[in-house]
Amino acid sequence: MPGGCRPINLPQSSYMSGTKRKKIVVAMSGGVDSSVTAALLKQQGYDCIGVFMRLGADPGTDEGAQCQPGKAHHQGCCSTADAADARFVAGLLDIPFYALNFQHDFSGIIDYFVREYNAGRTPNPCVRCNEYLKFGKLIAYANATGADYVATGHYARIVQDAQGHTELRRGRDLSKDQSYVLFGVRPEHLPRMMLPLGDMDKSHVRELAEAFKLPVFSKPDSQEICFVPDNDYTHLIQKRAPGAMQTGKVLDMAGQVVGEHQGHQAYTIGQRKGVGIALGYPVYVVAKNPAQNTVTLGPQAALAHQELDAREVNWLDQTPLGSEPIPCLAKIRYNTPPRPARVWLAGTDLLRVRFDEPLNAITPGQAVVCYAGDRVLGGGWIDRIVA
């Protein structure tokens, strides 16, 4: 083991049986997490295939450039430089490497992103990408190549319970836990997933990368949406949906006009910075009406709500959810801790969650994910605030 690296425990379902080497498709983005994932699985003796998903989201600034492996280029996860890093690491590890063209499929995710903003919601493309591409299309690719598993560098865990059921659980390092963005993976795909970093913290992963002599060991993490590298998503909306962003009225809680906006898409529920309107007290975006093209401002107290409905329910727990509320912990966005709540089915494909205490800025378009301890029960896409 290079550099005195500490061993890890991989999911029980991933151990090799007999003399047959298990084949694993490893999603390699060119970053440190996916690179260490590939190195660990290769070290464990698995037959690894490195795959880079070419999504067509490269802004083009790196095209034809002489890229130095591991150096910070644009901080996305699918640029030309990232592809070069992934290929270089695969070469160091002596594993086959393929760049798969998912541009057409990913274009659908970008369309979803724009469509949600135009409908007054705030989308989460990372969850959709994991659901549809990384553990959707890559599962299909694994089937086509005879691979047993698909592995990624997510900080979450796949474990088996005492009855042999496969569960998705939170990562040990709660500050890096990514189980929220994996809730949409279909239950039948869980046994095909491998997440070797789920028991680690980020500092240890970087130590492993350096010990494995991977040139990406100090490469910075991606911080933005990969197809919006400049963080200006309104520019993308204007490009993909010309004319969708129109000047409209900004209202106060009484419905009085207090200003003008250049497009409701530029505002998110709970936003305070950049509102640009003074009402004599701190104001937040508390509501949007895309049909009337209005944005409503109000005090922080107006953001507090306790109950929501979610659709496109994906329930991962072995115990089916019914009409009787069950206790859980639930979170309404990636970077907030889960809060005590109750969850039940309020209708066909309609998940209702009621929190014990009001939460600020419940946002339609985001996901609500329910937990029992560190076990992911399931979740859905927030459709509306009930109360």
For every residue of 298-336, DSSP letters joined together read E-GGGGEEEEEEEEEEEE-SSSPP-SS-EEEEEESSTTS
Alpha-carbon distances of 119 from 212, 262, 383, rounded to whole Å: 47, 16, 11
* C-alpha triplet 284, 241, 250: angle, nearest 5°: 25
The dihedrals phi and psi of 133, each to the nearest 5 degrees, come to: -100, -65
Distance CA 300, CA 313 (A): 30
Q: Which of 48, 67, 77, 226 is catalytic?
A: 226
Q: Which of 48, 126, 129, 328 is catalytic?
A: 129
User: CB 69: neighbour CB atoms within 10 A?
Assistant: 18
Distance CA 194, CA 180 (A): 16
In one-letter notation, the amino acid at residue 23 is K
Q: What is the DSSP-derived secondary structure letter of residue 172?
A: S
For every residue of 226-270, DSSP letters joined together read TT-TTS-HHHHHHHHSTT----EEEE-TTS-EEEEES-GGG--TT
Tokens standing for residue 306: 């306790």
**Quick check: is 129 catalytic?**
yes
**Quick check: is 48 catalytic?**
no
The dihedrals phi and psi of 123, each to the nearest 5 degrees, come to: -80, 165
Contact in structure between 249 and 257 (CB atoms under 8 Å): yes
* Catalytic center residues: 129, 226
